[in-house]
Amino acid sequence: MKRRCWAAMLLLGLLGLMGLPGLTRPALAAPDPNNSATWIYSFGAGPIEDILMQAASAKAAYGVSVSSEELAAIILSVTWPETQGGTSKTPSTIVRGDQGTLSPSPMTMGRSDIPKVRSTNVYLFSNDTTSTQYRRAFWHSGIGAWQLDGAGLGRSLMADERISTWTGGGKAANEIARRYKYAEDRPSTYPDKASRRQYAWGPWYACRLDNGYNIKCKDVFNLVYSASTNRLMVVGETSVGRLGGAVMTNCNVPWQTIPAYCTHVDLSQAQGARDGQFWYSYPDGRWDTAGNPTKSPLASPFYVVSDGTYEYRQWSDQAPKDSGYATVDIYGRRIYQGTSAQDDRVSGKWTQTEVVTPY
Amino acid sequence: MRGRPLSILVSLAGVTMAAIPLLGGITHSGQAQAMAAARSRVSLPNLPSRHILDPNLFDEEDCAIPPPGEARRCAAKPDLANVPGTPAEVDNPATTVRSLRGFEGPHFAGEIAANNLILLPETISVASEGTWGAMGLVRNELPHDVGAVRVSASLYGKDGTLLEQASNSVPVARIRPGEPAPFRLVAQTDAQQVDRVEWSVTSGGPGRAERDLEVHRYFEVPLIAGSRPYILATGMRNLGQPFEQARMIIAWLDEQGKVAWLETTTNPDLGIRSDESFNMPDIRVDDPALAERLIRMPYMMWGVGE
């Protein structure tokens, strides 16, 4: 009994010493696939199912060898760094609830598209000028959990399709699966899964190894996927749905007599992470003393509708609180498919009138 | 291609060029009438529909395939008479930015008239300090593909002496009707000695290269002094036949629409199969002054499979 007592006291003493400064703390335990309480990252519960299905579809379409679950993990790993930016935590210190682990909002809107970064970003501002008095009639380009951009992978998708974890997530799934397969088919250059994943993440800056982020996509992958059990380790957040707060509805449009399908995008209703420093603060944008934007405005509520060729985004005065501009209607449109699909940053797309009204 | 940037870019508009018939856009009235009569539409190399690109996401009518249990929501084809107009949607090649197979940018003409390879003088920048050099665009205004295109410039001094002939091939191996393509010339002659330039553009057959490519910009980030160069990341998808090696050519346009810089990036992986998507090596620029200019300028992209 004495021996057990001494052993217990020794153990307690050691545990006490561990709390003293100057001694190394043990690393946080890795997520356990059989214990969801240890999981770190969250994603919308329904959207997780979307990605699992789209991963299975992309796997079948492009013949990647990894399982659907592993491919889903590769696809999801992009979203936290892309939507929530860098973090001061490291892979061994980050815990659930930290910035960067929250459920990405499907309505995440990019705020870095300002003319100072690229001159053609001026066309995202209404009337093609940063001097517009209607700042919040702003045409976001990087949209959604994968930040699909009209200059790149999001060119043929409308705003609500990029928001949707089904369609936008499906597009990300296809693009990642094709690149993974490309790397898989060149084992002398991409000899292992890690190098193939890194190749598949090529379109996303947040996944780059030299981006300076403490936690990159490769780190997220190791924390959200259990290779031993082939299982996703992601907390399903029931408050975040496929559209992240956007609402499918119907709208009156001039080109048809019956109401058209449209989507109402109200960013104040965004579900999921709204990190104040990065995505949802400063709704009018941030501006320097010379009147140049340093962070883009955040769009006030708008409708998205298609006529089959053009994507329209309408800021309507039907509810003045909606657009924020009583008695002013503004819409922008751009070709999103068919002949010469256009980048979001196309000039001359703005008109001050109303073509789309709620049904 | 990397080199010292042209330090001062001067429009060629001030140089006598009207007498050179190969310069489209600068014409005498008789020539203008002839050109107007010969205009013909080109078949633009449009990208495939969404259904073709992602058949598991979009149906045959290019509508998003809904999730299980949800109804299809598809835009009806519009009554075109009631589609609202927007300000001035005129097809002006100089300003109309197109996303086409193997190309993205302005200057791809929907109609051709010259029945020749032409220079686009409004896009040509010329060094007026240091050694002579020029960058700009040619355009194929023939009704068929051209390859092995070379641009030559004969440089003459004030006394009419031929100082030097600079010549270079256009890096786009097959140029389609209506398509522009970039060139860069470098000479040994001091730019200030050049009084007059005579240009010529030649080609050698239809050219062989896969152009059925979807080109993408992934992202572009500015230079951060001491920690990150300017980076332009791009990629492609092969929508056509297999080919050996992929090349992306990028031309940046300054505030006057002149070609201010050219870069080429080549995929080191050989043997590109049909329907493969792949990343191109980054364009990286460490020169702070050049990087500062590039991040602000629009650019054109050509994807070529050789």
Note the pLDDT of residue B233.
97
Segment B46-75 shows an average pLDDT of 92
Rounded Cα distance between A98 and A86, Å, is 11
Residue B305 confidence (pLDDT): 97
What is the spatial distance between Cα B138 and Cα B203, in angstroms, rounded to a whole number?
11
Within a 10 A sphere around the Cβ of B122, how many other Cβ atoms? Answer: 17
- Token output for A164: 């949707």
The residue assigned the tokens 């119907």 is A250
For the stretch A122-139, what's the b/e string if a residue is b when 16 or more beta carbons lie within 10 angstroms of its beta carbon?
bbbbbbbebebebbbbbb
The first and second tokens of residue A20, run together, are: 């003293």
What is the end-to-end Cα distance of chain B in Å, rounded?
18
**pLDDT of amino acid A20:** 42
Question: What is the bridge-based pairing of β-strands A41-44 and A234-237?
Answer: parallel
Q: Which residues of chain A lie closer than 8 angstroms to B221, CB-CB?
A: 205
Give residue B227's Cα distance to chain centre. Answer: 31
Contact A343 B227 (CB under 8 A): no
Task: In whole angstroms, give the CA distance from residue A201 to residue A75.
Answer: 8
**Percent over 70 (pLDDT), chain B:** 82
Tokens linked to A43:
């994603």
Query: For helices A167-184 and A45-62, what crossing angle results, to 10°?
Result: 40
A109-165 residue pLDDT tens: 999 899 988 888 999 999 999 998 889 999 999 999 999 999 899 999 999 999 999
CA nearest to A343 within chain B: B99
Which residues make beta-bridge pairs with A314?
A303, A331
Residue A28: which pLDDT band, with cuts at 50, 70 and 90? low
Neighbour-count burial for A82-105, b at 16+ CB within 10 Å, e otherwise: bbbebbebebeebeeebbbbbbbb
pLDDT value of position B78: 62
Say which range, A128-137, A163-172, B75-84, has the weakest mean pLDDT: B75-84
Instruction: Provide, as residue numbers in chain A, all residues whose Cβ is less than 8 Å from the Cβ of B53.
Output: 156
pLDDT band at B209 (very low <50, low <70, confident <90, very high): very high
Higher pLDDT, A170 or B9: A170
Tokens representing residue B222 in the block:
């500015």
pLDDT tens digit string along A61-88?
Answer: 999 999 999 999 999 999 999 998 878 8
Q: Is the pLDDT of residue A49 over 50?
A: yes
Contact B203, B139 (CB under 8 A): no
Does residue B74 carry a pLDDT above 90? no
pLDDT tier, A337 (very low <50, low <70, confident <90, very high otherwise)? confident
Higher model confidence: residue B10 or residue B137?
A: B137
**Rounded Cα–Cα distance for residues B299 and B221 (Å):** 14
Distance from CA of A155 to the nearest CA of B (A): 9
Cβ contacts of A45 on chain B, cutoff 8 Å: none
Q: Which two structure tokens, joined as six digits, stand for B294?
A: 């590039």
Total CB pairs under 8 A between chain A and B: 149
Lowest-pLDDT choice from B6-15, B63-72, B92-101: B6-15
Q: Determine contact, residues B55/B48, Cβ cutoff 8 Å.
A: no
Local structure of A235: helix, strand or coil: strand
Q: Which amino acid makes up residue B175?
A: I
Give A351 or B175, the one with higher predicted confidence: B175
Out of B88-92, B168-172, B302-306, which region has the weakest mean confidence (pLDDT)?
Answer: B88-92
CA distance B111 to B39: 6
- pLDDT number for residue A3: 46
Query: Cα A100 from chain centroid?
Result: 12
Question: What is the predicted pLDDT for the residue at A338?
Answer: 61
**Which of A255, A260, A261 lies closest to B83 in CB terms?**
A255
Chain A residue whose CA is closest to B55: A61
Q: What is the ipTM of this complex?
A: 0.88
Instruction: State the pTM of this model.
Output: 0.89
Of A167, A174, A333, which has the smallest distance from its Cβ to B64's Cβ? Answer: A167
Q: What is the CA radius of gyration of chain B?
A: 21
| Percent of chain B whose pLDDT exceeds 90 | 71
Instruction: Kindly report, residue by residue over B141-159, the tens digit of the pLDDT.
Output: 999 999 999 999 999 999 9
Bridge partners, residue B252, by sequence:
B261, B299
| pLDDT at residue B294 tops 90 | yes
pLDDT at B147: 95
Give yes or no for residue B20 having a pLDDT over 90. no
Contact B278 A350 (CB under 8 A): no
Q: What is the pLDDT of residue A99?
A: 87
Percentage of residues in chain A with pLDDT exceeding 70? 87
pLDDT digits (tens, 9 = 90+) for A225-253: 999 999 999 999 999 999 999 999 999 88
| Cβ atoms of A272 and A309 closer than 8 Å | no
* DSSP 8-state class, residue A68: H
pLDDT average, residue stretch A9-23: 43
Report the pLDDT averaged over residues A18-45: 74
Please state, in angstroms and rounded to a whole number, the distance separating the CA atoms of residues A346 and A310.
13
